[in-house]
Amino acid sequence: MTKQLPPLFRDKMIDLLGEDEFERFLASYDQARSYGLRVNTSKITKADFLDKSPFALEPVPWASEGFYYEEGERPGKHPYYHAGLYYIQEPSAMAPVELLQVQPGEKVLDLCAAPGGKSTQIAAKLQGEGVLVVNDNHSDRVKALVKNLELFGVRNAVVLNERPERMLNVFQGYFDKILIDAPCSGEGMFRKEEEMMQQWERHSVQEFAAMQRELLGQAAQMLAPGGTIVYSTCTFSPEENEAQIAEFLDKHPAFDVVPIDRFDHGQPDWLREPWCEETFSAQAREAVAGTARLWPHRLRGEGHYVAVLRSEVGAEAGVGGRAEVGESVRAEVGESVRASAGAGRSGRDALRGKGRAGTESRVSLEPLQAFENELLRSEPFAAMRLVCYGEHAYASPAGLPELNGLKVVRPGWYIGALHRGRFEPSHALAMGLRLREAKRALSLASRDERALRYLKGETLEVAESEIIRDPEVTKAAKGYCLVCIDEHPVGWGKWIDGMLKNEYPPGWRWT
């Protein structure tokens, strides 16, 4: 393995680390890597998960919900994975969100979010309260992001597929917290993913540094006064790390670095030729010592860099000044979602929406209301804004600005389709519910062979007595029911005469 490191990378690391430290660093490439998962505490408490965990777990010291599991375990092949009880995540990658210190109720942006590892971590910290906007400019990667958020049962996320410069006017000074998990040269991932080495040879560090500089400036404009940005990369190069932060601090005097004590420090000494120009202020150079480096030879995880940047409480909103948008933000018919109904019940009998052709349509909400009355014990959308996109209904988190003109992939929690007078609940709705919220449900034990058969998409034999319902409220067993495994929702089924018709989506099935 060590022989295959790109020679230029090897030479640069010797220059940065010195011969002795480099030898220790190099030896880490021959050591086994660590594997991690993070418990979804919006679905299950850590204690309950540890009680029923089928894997031997050991806490990741820097991530409150993170655990190491042993090589050879296959957490992706367990019904609890399909129930969204955890996310499989490299342990060092858990650090940035932990350092963002997200609190329930905050407005949080994950600017470079796909495939969503850190978005799901933020969502768990928000506990369903507040607003989570996640964005990625890569349209294919956004699909995985949507799937991971749905699997995690996130209710309060909006998914965008935008270039950040087009978001500036809409979100000027809006967010309490912003994560920039920046596109980078990926040097810290060489051990985990060897193909990153070929990618490193194709793209220069300078190419990524230019993108990172822009992203930092754009995030500053979308941050509320007193807000926090966490900037992270999975690379070692000072050009993409300390130099980005020093340059940002010199350009944005309203920001300070919040020092991180838990990890090795950032390296002011590396702010020099041949890696960087030596033009940074003494203050900025000193401040980068408060940023963090996660080294694969000094902890159980891959290589990362993290900086926490806080803006002054009294700073002007959008501290970078007014948004400079290269092109005007225009409405994209068919891409944007018109939100027109309030959250109140009275405004819910019909929704005005936009169809793909851009024609205004009125969508009757009666079938959705009938479904809620029949199936849902709680009112999960009560504090949200219902929006329609063609036939598709979403519950959007309260307090969002109008998103017109932006490429919105999900304006909120996807509830289902209103089609020819019927309501078809979405898989995302099932994943975002709890067993206690359903008036009709089936809970299979994970050891019951039908649990796996359900996940494979098979029709099941289910006795009427197995359908959980409160006879006071719902007498009939017939119809939609929330299917759970060990009481955790995994999807919908339709029960009739001793059979459960399987509604588990084909793209999600156990293979």
Q: Which residues make up the interface to ligand SAM (CB under 6 A)?
A: 93, 111-118, 135-138, 141, 164, 181, 183, 211, 215
- Give the residue at shortest CB distance from ligand SAM: 112
We find the least distance from the C-beta atom of residue 13 to ligand SAM, in angstroms, to be 21
Tell me whether residue 501 is annotated as binding: no
DSSP assignment string, 290-327 = GSEEE-TTTSSS--EEEEEEEE-TTSPSSTT-S---SS
Minimum gap (Å) between residue 306 Cβ and ligand SAM:
12
Extract the tokens encoding 351. 């929704």
In the complex, least distance from residue 23 CB atom to ligand SAM, rounded to whole angstroms: 29
| Sequence-distant (≥ 6) Cβ neighbours of residue 22 within 8 angstroms | 13, 14
Closest to ligand SAM by CB, 160 or 441: 160
Distance of CA 147 to the CA centre of its chain: 10
Tell the burial category of 314 from Cβ atoms under 10 Å away from its Cβ (0-12, 13-18, 19+).
Answer: exposed
Q: Between residues 88 and 350, which has the closer beta carbon with respect to ligand SAM?
A: 88
- Angle at which helix 7-17 crosses helix 19-27, to 10 degrees, equals 130
Q: How many CB atoms lie within 10 A of CB 100?
A: 25
Lookup: tokens for 304:
């990362």
* CB of residue 136 to ligand SAM, shortest distance in Å: 5
| Helices 242-251/205-222 angle, 10° precision | 40
CB of 102 to ligand SAM, least distance (A): 14
Q: Is 114 annotated as a binding residue?
A: yes
* Residue 72 assigned ligand-binding role: no
Annotated binding-site residue? 112:
yes
Token output for 359: 């024609």
Is 136 annotated as a binding-site member?
yes
Give me the amino acid identity at 404: N
234 is catalytic: yes
Tokens of 229: 């940005």
Least gap, CB of 148 to ligand SAM (angstroms): 8
243 is in an annotated binding site: no
Instruction: For residue 329, give both structure tokens.
Output: 């933000």
- Residue 189 to residue 302: CA distance in whole angstroms: 6
Nearer to ligand SAM, 36 or 493 (CB): 36
Measured from the CB atom, is 115 or 493 closer to ligand SAM? 115
Token pair of 457, please? Answer: 């998409």
C-beta closer to ligand SAM: residue 118 or 354: 118
Q: Is 113 annotated as a binding residue?
A: yes
Closest-CA residue to 162 (of 144, 142, 135): 135
Q: Are 429 and 491 in contact (CB under 8 A)?
A: no
Tell me the C-alpha to C-alpha distance, in Å, between residue 316 and each of 225, 251, 370.
Answer: 6, 15, 47
234, 388, 481, 484: the active-site residue: 234
* Cβ nearer to ligand SAM, comparing 292 with 444: 292
Binding-site residue set: 112-118, 136, 181
Catalytic residues, by residue number, are: 234
Binding-site residue set for S-adenosyl-L-methionine: 112-118, 136, 181
